[in-house]
Structure 1
């Protein structure tokens, strides 16, 4: 591409001490020269982080066009969007971002009427806590919407303190409950209290256990949380993850317990006499149930890898009594949304969302129509994704969020069989996606299996050998890579590039079998699927390896760093955000024991063998010319410890010794930031400009004039 940017001069990397540390683990010699970088509290490590970040700043600030990228990303991120919604009584609560706000806020509006009303800001976390990094992690309104439980955190740590807000006045009640990361909250019908999940005081558990032992407790509004009594604490192991729901009449309490990433146990309590029943336990199936009238209704992968919708009487809730409301098919069942009369069924095909309606099985209309009647499809605006699903208890209506690659997240209301836009309209609340083209491709992986690949480009761009392309993916934990808005993707496509998303194994694009085909010992196939996507793009003449970059975050960061070490020839540039890189020691840090069922246990000899076969930090080979690499991480990340990015950067930088004209390896460590959730818009724009500026300078994108 003519007049393409290039990276400015790169200073020498700060020296990283390489120690002759080699452990023999289950017969394997495992070198770990940079273990000293694991201790983020060590002043020497902090100085090294700062030196790496200063070096990265020297380069990234000098990239041509970075200022224009920063401004454009700021505009794209400031497009007003809805990130979550919940209907409670006559109130509609929503998490909104953009429109000049640097941080997402919680708004409340009327859910009634024939047209959307403007929401009133109920919680502005940055203003409330007088901290620009303060974030709203989650929220749960009471059934009538008079009160809202919210989770607040700062610095990106997501550890959350539960607070209660009066909807009418915006006043905070005295209740303040710490250690409520990603809390599940089930309100009593009268709003007098709730069941909720909380983590233990670190002083009460063994060292390193504070991120586990999540249990369900009961809280009365106004009571001291220290006196909250446990409701469910029979964890099958410390890493199990319980969630809680309560029926509308308060009689039935449902506890779902996730054990690993393939199993959900479900327990049902009749609160009239305190009797517990185990609905399903110890079976590798994902089950998500609701109390709907006099029945349990929900989704399960039991005997159905793509999922099915089932129902059973509360008096006989066990799997033998389950009947299919929506049987298994080629569609992947994602969720159901109950309303007063209906069940909305969310599914995907090839990662594209579909929505349909069936009658509630406890209603006369369902009996008249027959429980085996086909779901009635509900048309969506285009190929995209659904999120923020919430149905009304009082009315036959629901609210759903919708997004696609060039369509920012917006809110839709379903009623009377149709969907209608419910995000307030106006010149500042629209984003024109008509200038872009989204395509869905199929390509063969290394074993012949066909994989879906989405591409986003400007409509007037015809991909060819010199087209700058950024390929991304995830490939783990059953995460489906459905079409979703990305400011970075739009900014890249505007500059004439192609943004590609590979729906590789490890996700749930084709159901639970697709997930398991990329799990544990099968993880290398995930990397092979991703490499095959890059090879297909090149073979089809849609880009060239010297114009191709790959990027991924978290598990996706593991993906791209593993591919980096497996195929140094694959691409010209790599961005790995908050990545996992040391697969031998990962369970020792933060909450990573939660991921052992997905990856394997390095303490097990068989598991260690496959983990070592791809562990990026251990697969770096001295003297190899690797692509240009940018590693980004947050110093306060409570999910993936920044040690992974540190150790990987040091290892790659050391491996470049003796390589003629090595590509740069940059490490960007952001203070006061975590895994990415809740990051202020201004910081997201700065990081996005760094990432796109770096990738663009390597793969040949013409810079916009600063």
Structure 2
């Protein structure tokens, strides 16, 4: 079956040769036409070939049904999407409600582990009644009353959505209320009758990245065309976006002008409608507000009055001084240690909650400010060697909700109080027999001598080299922490669980580019230094071989989105080292990425291919351009979504076509809905997990 993909695309290959002969640089640019008939016909043919081949696995149906049962299991943790006064809101998805029901429960009942849910919006029923394939994108309810909400719904799961005003008391959309037309828009409540809005106001209102650049104040009862402009970014900016925070009785409204993906100006909208720029460094990130202070995280050292505040530190600025136009210096709230990285920050009424990583293990701290201006911190008593996710905080009760899990430990939801005492709210039952497995953290040494941590999961008693799957990301400050195997790797459902249960090894690699050790772990591989993240991945694979865990011919790699750049580069650089490659919603054509959908917003991460100096280093790893005829590459499994309006599906399509042209096998699965997250519901997620498992068995341990 070596040429199964070629059978579906033989005409494509011949057409490609003819086009190249005519001197066209990119013979597959027609595959960038997202909904083009020719392109979709090719996609459907590739999908069909892959489905037919992997259907030969006798366990495919059982993988899929088991994955679906896990994803649809009503023994899920009902995470607090938002806490609204004395209510907790949650979006619940199961077999009966694949698109979800948005519901609320009294906070006290929820915290006691006995929520009393009341359905507010049934997304599936709404889509059916309105004949739209609605996908939930969230709701923002105006504090402190929380009766009026801005509900965001996406047709088919794209990043673009429609915003509609909803009344929580009546459970209905407001007749004549605010409605923002479909676009990649953002809106924030200023007050009950005013929105601060950024959206598509016409062709000149968008940045080169496709996001809004003009912020307007829109008054209730007036047409959108009458909204008044308060801030304009430039065409070369990434985006402009509004947001608001409630601090006691005061509502603070802000605007972020994203100049690059990693730099921005944050401004305050004053009560009299003026826009005042805050003193945040352009690479700092806004985190929250507490007691009239703006909380931010530094990405670079900041020297103030002869004192240098370290990168990765949390600092505070007085908002009253900012609003009044007075000079204000930051005060240090918390500085990370050498092994720490501060990841998440959220405020309740009197406590600033900080989630940090310490050698990639999650920690949660409660911080208070004393009358003399000093901040004190106390670690909470959550389980060690775990992943911690800080979800939401309840203001007046000074409670933080966090989920704690490990690769072999199912998630548990905790409510952590001001005393630092955690109380279990809900624990999930085990989905597999963890007693048969082991997990350990190990370290590889990269080409430049940097220690690269990775987590290794295997069955107990396994000896000798076994097939191994390495998942990694390596970009955008996104740390990869060890979650329960039913959700590893990301967007592949219980693939990791299936893989280890059958005697194989699963690895989560913490390569540079993420945020595992703070800002420098990310900055060290930006732009011309990207090769270091690829070297880190190679080092982990080689460490598996060196330690006898695996062997050449038995190693597969997985990455999605930015991870697509990673596995694509690894594929072209070391086809001798890897024998299977999972490439999800990937970036592959780095020559054209900045011209496709949201690509221009990532120039700060990768570089600008239209600048000769940048393309000089990008061209050395760009997967699409680095494919060479005459080289035998491992058979890649591409998965993506036609509706992805963030990373263009043309990346995967063109990479597949080029591999096909050069006589290499590949697998392909493009879902017609779902957006960048691929699956719009659990059915597709379960199907993808089963296909990927069958693929890995064929390429790493099964019959070729």
State the TM bucket, normalised to the shorter chain: 0.7 to 0.9
Deviation at 1:619, TM superposition (A): 0.8
Aligned length: 669
Match of 1:523 in 2: 530
- Separation in structure 2 between the aligned mates of residue 10 and residue 32 of structure 1, nearest angstrom: 20
Match of 2:273 in 1: 274
Secondary structure of 2:548's aligned partner: coil
Distance 1:106 1:230, change over 3 A: farther
Aligned partners of 2:443 and 2:454 also within 8 Å: yes
Give 5+ residue unaligned stretches, structure 2: 302-308, 488-493
Match of 2:624 in 1: 617
Distance 1:8 1:33, change over 3 A: closer
Match of 2:491 in 1: none
Deviation at 1:387, TM superposition (A): 3.6
Match of 2:83 in 1: 87
- Separation in structure 2 between the aligned mates of residue 230 and residue 419 of structure 1, nearest angstrom: 46
- Separation in structure 1 between the aligned mates of residue 575 and residue 97 of structure 2, nearest angstrom: 41
Secondary structure of 1:531's aligned partner: helix
Work out whether 1:115 is the aligned partner of 2:119.
no
TM-score (norm 2): 0.87
Counterpart mapping for 1:123-134 below 5 A? 123-130=121-128, 133-134=133-134
Root-mean-square deviation (Å)? 3.0
Work out whether 1:418 is the aligned partner of 2:421.
yes
Among 624, 635, 645, the residue aligned to 1:628: 635
Work out whether 1:557 is the aligned partner of 2:557.
no
Deviation at 1:677, TM superposition (A): 5.6
Q: Deviations over 1:477-497 (max 9, x none)?
A: 111112234122222222222
Distance 1:180 1:397, change over 3 A: farther
Q: Deviations over 1:155-202 (max 9, x none)?
A: 2213111123333342222433124547353463xxx14544432145
- Separation in structure 1 between the aligned mates of residue 171 and residue 429 of structure 2, nearest angstrom: 25
Residues 620-629 or 414-423, more deviating? 414-423
Aligned partners of 1:72 and 1:491 also within 8 Å: no
Deviation at 1:280, TM superposition (A): 3.1
Deviation at 1:42, TM superposition (A): 3.0
Match of 2:335 in 1: 327
Aligned partners of 1:470 and 1:498 also within 8 Å: yes
Aligned partners of 1:399 and 1:412 also within 8 Å: yes
Distance 1:396 1:553, change over 3 A: same
Aligned partners of 2:290 and 2:349 also within 8 Å: no
Give 5+ residue unaligned stretches, structure 1: 1-5, 24-28, 657-661
- Separation in structure 1 between the aligned mates of residue 284 and residue 464 of structure 2, nearest angstrom: 43
Secondary structure of 1:177's aligned partner: strand
Q: Deviations over 1:614-644 (max 9, x none)?
A: 1111111111111121111211110111111
Aligned partners of 1:195 and 1:231 also within 8 Å: no
Residues 586-595 or 30-39, more deviating? 30-39
Distance 1:289 1:558, change over 3 A: closer
Deviation at 1:377, TM superposition (A): 0.2
- Separation in structure 2 between the aligned mates of residue 702 and residue 69 of structure 1, nearest angstrom: 18
Secondary structure of 1:559's aligned partner: helix
Match of 1:296 in 2: 294
Match of 1:40 in 2: 34
Q: Deviations over 1:349-405 (max 9, x none)?
A: 23322101111x3xxxx227x6143x1001223433344532233322222344443
Work out whether 1:507 is the aligned partner of 2:504.
no
- Separation in structure 2 between the aligned mates of residue 237 and residue 563 of structure 1, nearest angstrom: 31
- Separation in structure 2 between the aligned mates of residue 213 and residue 380 of structure 1, nearest angstrom: 41
Secondary structure of 1:545's aligned partner: coil
Work out whether 1:350 is the aligned partner of 2:359.
yes
Secondary structure of 1:260's aligned partner: coil
- Separation in structure 2 between the aligned mates of residue 701 and residue 193 of structure 1, nearest angstrom: 63
Match of 1:591 in 2: 598
Distance 1:414 1:678, change over 3 A: farther
Deviation at 1:534, TM superposition (A): 0.8
TM-score (norm 1): 0.87
Which structure is higher in RCO with an 8 Å CA cutoff and minimum separation 6? 1
Aligned partners of 2:5 and 2:667 also within 8 Å: no
Distance 1:541 1:58, change over 3 A: same
Q: Deviations over 1:414-434 (max 9, x none)?
A: 2242222334x6xx8664674
Deviation at 1:586, TM superposition (A): 1.0
